[in-house]
């Protein structure tokens, strides 16, 4: 997945892609977003996904007065269909544990805000790329501050270096080459080391 050019689309959105489950803490994202939107009224939140907490999340957005700023497009796992959402985003967020969505976001050249004290999946090693910014777990204020910080740097996106770093190390081809090297007891090439 290459970095996506801007195409003159305003980057005003925070993007979440994943399950609406308690461990993902999507409600925390809505709370932090609502606080950030008080300062930046043009900011929007896109919640791509679905799950057991969807009705609760919609109610929370309404209760916090941001329902008109929060979009629920449903479950989408096709990259071409996700592209328009990444084009509108200045960052993605993982308020609970980070997983494969981190690889996807960085592959599109979009940085991710990640809670600092969660049981993250192995993909968190991508923080070495510079595309991850941590905020204090379970802190709506910490998330608000991180969102406002990312808002200020939205004009430099997408980050093509971040996208290339991720593509070289985490594409299907890189992962397959890393597995092949492991099975053949070979030292992986530099481009495949992140794939093991």
Q: What is the pLDDT of residues 77-95, one digit of tens each?
A: 999 999 999 999 999 999 9
pLDDT for position 192: 47
pLDDT for position 9: 81
With beta carbons less than 8 A apart as the criterion, state whether 124 and 114 touch.
Answer: yes
Q: What is the pLDDT of residues 25-44, one digit of tens each?
A: 999 999 999 999 999 999 99
Residue 55 CB-half CA count within 13 A:
1
pLDDT for position 69: 98
Q: What residues pair up with 115 in beta bridges, in sequence order?
A: 135
What domains can be seen in the chain, in order of their start residue?
13-158 (3.40.50.2000), 159-196 (no CATH)
Of residues 81, 121, 80, the one with CA closest to residue 103: 121
User: What b-and-e string marks burial along 55-93, b requiring 16 or more CB atoms within 10 Å of the CB?
Assistant: eebbebbeebebeebbebeeeeeeeeebeebbbbbbbbb
- Residues of the chain with pLDDT below 70 are 1-8, 171-183, 186-196
pLDDT for position 25: 98
pLDDT for position 4: 55
Residue 42 makes CB contacts below 8 A (sequence gap 6+) with 12
How many angstroms from the chain centroid is the CA of residue 116? 14
In total, the chain counts a number of residues equal to 196
How many angstroms from the chain centroid is the CA of residue 12? 14
pLDDT for position 187: 59
pLDDT for position 141: 98
pLDDT for position 194: 44
């Amino acid at each position: 997945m290459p970095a996506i050019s801007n195409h003159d689309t305003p980057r005003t959105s925070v993007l979440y892609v994943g399950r609406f489950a308690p461990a993902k803490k999507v409600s925390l994202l809505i709370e932090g977003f609502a606080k950030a939107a008080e300062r930046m009224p043009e900011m929007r939140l896109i919640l791509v996904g679905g799950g057991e907490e969807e009705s609760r999340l919609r109610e929370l957005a309404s209760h916090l007065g941001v329902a008109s700023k929060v979009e629920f497009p449903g479950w989408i796992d096709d990259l071409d269909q996700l592209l328009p959402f990444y084009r509108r985003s200045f960052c993605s967020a993982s308020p609970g544990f980070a997983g494969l969505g981190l690889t996807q976001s960085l592959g599109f050249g979009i940085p991710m805000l990640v809670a600092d004290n969660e049981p993250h999946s192995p993909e968190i090693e991508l923080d070495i790329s510079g595309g991850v910014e941590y905020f204090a777990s379970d802190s709506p204020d910490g998330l608000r501050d991180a969102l406002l910080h990312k808002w200020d740097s939205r004009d430099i996106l997408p980050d093509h270096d971040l996208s290339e770093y991720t593509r070289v190390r985490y594409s299907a081809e890189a992962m397959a080459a890393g597995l092949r090297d492991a099975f053949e007891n070979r030292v992986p090439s530099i481009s495949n080391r992140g794939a093991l």
